């Protein structure tokens, strides 16, 4: 402290020498620089707090989006299962339609055979 303060003949109450104007100016300059840095740090801290708030909101949105994507993926899986069931049912319906057409022809031919057989057995003459 003796390097910063030099005695100019005046002594303060505590017995310490008062600083010269040059030293006082140097101290004031350093104090202003420190205050400026503190102001910069405060500004940076406010910006960081604002950014962290934004990040928290983004995190909430990402979680909601992730949940939505999971629901959509589940919906797609359900749709794939329904399409598979539809394809299976479509094949079954095609087979049943073919069997129905075959049954119609077999029934027609069978009915004709029965009528012919009854006609031959009963001897119905026209």
Quick one: pLDDT at residue 3? Answer: 43
Confidence of residue 4 (pLDDT cuts 50, 70, 90): very low
Model pTM score:
0.43
Q: What is the pLDDT of residues 41-77, one digit of tens each?
A: 999 999 998 888 888 899 999 999 999 999 999 999 9
φ, ψ for residue 10 (rounded to 5)?
A: -110, 145
- What does the pLDDT read at residue 88? 86
Domain boundaries, the chain: 1-91
Tell me the average pLDDT of the chain: 84
Rounded percentage of the chain residues whose pLDDT exceeds 90: 48
Please tell me the distance from the alpha carbon of residue 123 to that of residue 126, in angstroms, as a whole number.
Answer: 9
């Amino acid at each position: 402290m003796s390097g910063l303060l030099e005695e100019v003949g005046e002594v303060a109450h505590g017995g310490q020498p008062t600083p010269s104007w040059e030293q006082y100016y140097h101290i004031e300059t350093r104090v202003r620089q420190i205050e400026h840095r503190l102001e910069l740090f405060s500004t940076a801290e406010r910006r960081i707090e604002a950014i962290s708030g934004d990040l928290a909101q983004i995190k909430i949105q990402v979680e909601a989006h992730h949940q939505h994507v999971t629901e959509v993926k589940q919906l797609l899986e359900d749709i794939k299962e329904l399409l598979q069931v539809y394809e299976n049912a479509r094949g079954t319906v095609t087979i049943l339609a073919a069997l129905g057409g075959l049954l119609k022809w077999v029934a027609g031919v069978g009915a004709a055979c029965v009528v012919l057989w009854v006609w031959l057995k009963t001897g119905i003459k026209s």
